[in-house]
């Protein structure tokens, strides 16, 4: 652990990803230091979700290298399951296991992957459910919960594995507006607790307030990155300016195309 | 007719015909009359005194009664054992069918097409009479032969049903499991198969009903008396010349319904429950 303290948690170099003829990522370099919260923003289809999914190899890179927690995961002989067990992921669509209760959702991987005994797994699961404010819903089934509750369970499920990196793929995009706040509050608490996080999001307020660094990606490349105050508050690149204008002021998005 | 304006046609229409409600009433009455006429016609075509003698003959039914518990139990036993093999083999075949390995897909496809395509009776006879001659171990147990024959045929249908279930499990469920560090095999066993089962439980119950009825095919094999199932005792009573006509067949038919109707109700309950939990 101490040896890793200075080494980056994520080190992406020259990452390319193509789906058939379509090249989605065209050479991305990105490093994330321990404890850092990086928000990735960008228009839909820009490749930001693909970039995130390359970090735990839900998508395999076409070229370039991705190093996560000191392991080169683009190596074909990598034990990807071992790396994934230390990298939590939260999806846009929650993806809770529909046939299991909330508690079982949070214990199944602990038991089957980490081989923790039942009691220990349940204790850790409950701790994390408390952490996201759902300690009393362990017996519920996912379909009995609201979207916001489901997403918080998904976060607890990932946290129960004691991850050293958390990936969030548009975690609030599928939620009703009034439920977004609960999920963002959990994520903010997590960030303040020192978790290393990579967050693909459209929530500019979250990126501005919580992120250490904001990465704007468009057309498969990183266009601009830096402190939130710079990238969101004072964007330099015309594409960043246009995107932020559209996101922050959607009703006046026309007539300012600067290309 | 053709010279009428649309407006005139419409008013003429209203004046000449009954209201829709009254028309529905008339149609309904006609339907009932036809139905009743059909019943009466059937009733007139039947020789009722002969029915009591040949189909619902109390004496013949009573004579058969002592043999029924064992035969009923055997039918259930054959059904349960066959279905156990069928579900295991069918799930395996379905997993092979959706596998990334081409060879597995080909093997599974050939198996399914073969066993769906041949009459089950042929295969039952083949396993019962031919298989013991060609294998280099002693295949004498009737239960084993029955399980192999009916289980293998049924597994082809179960495989098709399970395949649909496996493919209906959302991709996100698999990604979530993989992102937690589960291997492909672990994901399949822990997440995909249990969810596929829940999806296909109603159609799978129908498969059990079909299998229950298919146990009747075993009666074509040479069974020993303690191995007799329902259809066999029905046939024997029929050919024993004890009188009572077809009564034994009706009695054993009722026994099958005792098994299949509750299964059908069970399947409908599951379906309703599934529809609720998905909404």
Residues in B closer than 8 angstroms to A153, CB to CB, are: none
The angle that helices A147-159 and A102-112 make with each other, rounded to 10 degrees, is: 20
Q: What is the pLDDT of residues B5-27, one digit of tens each?
A: 555 555 555 556 788 999 999 99
**What is the nearest CA distance from A6 to chain B, expressed in angstroms?**
25
How far is it, in rounded angstroms, from Cα B14 to Cα B9? 9
As a whole number, the mean pLDDT across chain A is 92
Predicted local distance difference test score (pLDDT) of residue B1: 45
A45-55: burial string, b at 16+ Cβ within 10 Å, e else: ebbbbbbbbbb
Q: What is the pLDDT of residues B260-270, one digit of tens each?
A: 999 989 888 88
Q: How confident is the model at residue B239 (pLDDT cuts 50, 70, 90)?
A: confident
Low-confidence ranges of chain A (pLDDT < 70): 1-5, 253-259
Do residue B178 and residue A58 have CB atoms under 8 angstroms apart?
A: yes
Q: Which of A83, A113, A153, A164 is the best residue to mutate to test the B interface, defined by the most B CB atoms within 10 Å of its own CB? A: A113
**DSSP E strands, A69-193:** 71-72, 87-90, 165-169
| Helix/strand/coil percentages in chain B, nearest 5 | 85, 0, 15
C-beta separation of B244 from B61 below 8 A:
yes
**What is the nearest CA distance from B179 to chain A, expressed in angstroms?**
6
The yes-or-no verdict on residue B177 having pLDDT over 50 is yes
A205-234: burial string, b at 16+ Cβ within 10 Å, e else: ebbbebbebbbbbbebebbbbeebeebbee
Check if A112 contacts B (Cβ < 8 Å). yes
C-beta separation of B182 from B193 below 8 A:
no
More confident residue, A92 or B52: A92
Six token digits for residue B154:
């049924």
- For B133, counting Cβ atoms within 10 Å of its Cβ (0-12 exposed, 13-18 middle, 19+ buried), the class is exposed
Rounded to an integer, the average pLDDT of B255-263 is: 92
**What is the nearest CA distance from B174 to chain A, expressed in angstroms?**
9
**Percent of chain A's residues with pLDDT above 90:** 89
Predicted local distance difference test score (pLDDT) of residue A259: 44
- DSSP per-residue string spanning A192-208: HTT--EEEE-S-HHHHH
C-beta separation of B93 from B137 below 8 A:
no
Predicted local distance difference test score (pLDDT) of residue B226: 83
Residues in A closer than 8 angstroms to B179, CB to CB, are: 56, 58, 84, 87-89, 91, 158
Instruction: Identify the structural domains of chain B with CATH numbers, from first to last.
Output: 58-278 (1.10.3720.10)
- DSSP per-residue string spanning B121-161: HHHHHIIIIIHHHHSSS----HHHHHHHHHHHHHHHHHHHH
How far is it, in rounded angstroms, from Cα B150 to Cα A94? 42
For chain B, what's the residue count? 279
B256-277: burial string, b at 16+ Cβ within 10 Å, e else: beebbeeeeeebeebeeeeeee
Predicted local distance difference test score (pLDDT) of residue B276: 63
Check if A71 contacts B (Cβ < 8 Å). no
> B198 to chain A: nearest residue by CA?
A99
Predicted local distance difference test score (pLDDT) of residue B227: 83
- For B136, counting Cβ atoms within 10 Å of its Cβ (0-12 exposed, 13-18 middle, 19+ buried), the class is exposed
How far is it, in rounded angstroms, from Cα A44 to Cα B114? 48
The Cα diameter of chain A in Å comes to 61
| Helix/strand/coil percentages in chain A, nearest 5 | 35, 25, 40
Six token digits for residue A61:
């890179």
Structure ipTM: 0.91
Rounded to an integer, the average pLDDT of B76-104 is: 95
To which H or E segment does residue B86 belong? Answer: helix B68-97
Do residue B176 and residue A91 have CB atoms under 8 angstroms apart?
A: yes
Q: What is the pLDDT of residues A38-76, one digit of tens each?
A: 999 999 889 999 999 999 999 999 999 999 999 999 999
pTM for this predicted structure: 0.81
How far is it, in rounded angstroms, from Cα A140 to Cα A138? 6
The yes-or-no verdict on residue B166 having pLDDT over 90 is yes
Predicted local distance difference test score (pLDDT) of residue B236: 84
C-beta separation of B131 from B139 below 8 A:
yes
Predicted local distance difference test score (pLDDT) of residue A105: 96
Do residue A84 and residue B178 have CB atoms under 8 angstroms apart?
A: yes
Six token digits for residue B30:
């006609």
Predicted local distance difference test score (pLDDT) of residue B78: 93
Q: Which 8-state DSSP code applies to residue A142?
A: G
Rounded to an integer, the average pLDDT of B72-98 is: 95
Check if A115 contacts B (Cβ < 8 Å). no
Rounded to an integer, the average pLDDT of B151-171 is: 95
As a whole number, the mean pLDDT across chain B is 87
């Amino acid at each position: 652990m101490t040896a890793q303290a200075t080494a980056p948690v994520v080190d992406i170099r020259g990452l390319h990803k193509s789906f058939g003829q379509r090249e989605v990522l065209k050479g991305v370099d990105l490093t994330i230091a321990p404890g850092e919260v990086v928000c990735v923003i960008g228009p839909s289809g820009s490749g930001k979700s693909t970039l995130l999914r390359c970090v735990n190899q839900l998508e395999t890179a076409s070229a370039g290298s991705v190093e996560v927690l000191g392991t080169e995961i683009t190596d074909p002989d990598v034990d990807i399951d071992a790396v994934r067990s230390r990298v939590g992921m939260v999806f846009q669509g929650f993806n809770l296991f529909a046939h299991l209760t909330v508690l079982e959702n949070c214990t199944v991987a602990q038991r089957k992957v980490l081989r923790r005994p039942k009691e220990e797994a349940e204790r850790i699961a409950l701790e994390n459910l408390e952490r996201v404010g759902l300690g009393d819903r362990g017996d519920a089934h996912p379909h009995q919960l609201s979207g916001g509750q489901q997403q918080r369970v998904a976060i607890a499920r990932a946290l129960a594995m004691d991850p050293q990196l958390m990936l969030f793929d548009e975690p609030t995009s599928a939620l009703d507006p009034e439920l977004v706040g609960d999920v963002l509050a959990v994520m903010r608490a997590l960030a303040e607790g020192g978790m290393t996080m990579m967050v693909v999001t459209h929530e500019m307020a979250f990126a501005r307030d919580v992120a250490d660094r904001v990465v704007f990606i468009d057309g498969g490349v990183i266009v601009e990155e830096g402190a939130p105050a710079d990238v969101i508050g004072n964007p330099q690149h015309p594409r960043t300016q246009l995107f932020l204008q559209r996101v922050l002021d959607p009703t006046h998005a026309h007539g300012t195309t600067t290309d | 007719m053709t010279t009428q304006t649309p407006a005139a046609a419409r008013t003429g229409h209203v004046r000449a015909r009954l209201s829709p409600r009254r028309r529905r009433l008339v149609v309904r009455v006609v339907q009932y009359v036809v139905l009743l006429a059909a019943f009466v016609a059937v009733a007139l075509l039947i020789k009722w005194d002969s029915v009591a003698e040949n189909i619902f003959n109390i004496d013949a039914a009573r004579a058969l009664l002592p043999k029924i518990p064992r035969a009923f139990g055997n039918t259930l036993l054959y059904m349960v054992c066959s279905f156990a093999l069928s579900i295991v083999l069918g799930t395996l075949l379905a997993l092979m069918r959706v596998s990334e390995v081409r060879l597995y897909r080909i093997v599974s496809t050939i198996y399914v097409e073969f066993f769906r395509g041949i009459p089950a009776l042929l295969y039952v006879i083949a396993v019962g009479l031919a298989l013991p001659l060609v294998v280099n171990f002693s295949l004498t147990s009737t239960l084993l032969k029955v399980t192999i024959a009916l289980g293998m045929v049924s597994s082809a249908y179960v495989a098709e049903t399970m395949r649909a279930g496996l493919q209906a499990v959302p991709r996100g469920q698999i990604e979530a499991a993989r992102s937690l560090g589960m291997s492909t095999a672990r994901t399949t066993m822990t997440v995909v198969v249990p969810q596929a089962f829940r999806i296909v439980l109603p159609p799978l119950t129908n498969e059990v009903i079909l299998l229950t009825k298919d146990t009747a095919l075993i009666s074509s094999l040479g069974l020993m008396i303690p191995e007799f199932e329902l259809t066999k005792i029905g046939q024997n009573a029929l050919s024993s010349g004890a009188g009572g006509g077809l009564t034994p067949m009706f009695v054993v038919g009722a026994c099958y319904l005792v098994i299949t109707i509750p299964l059908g109700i069970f399947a409908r309950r599951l379906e309703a429950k599934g529809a609720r939990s998905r909404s």
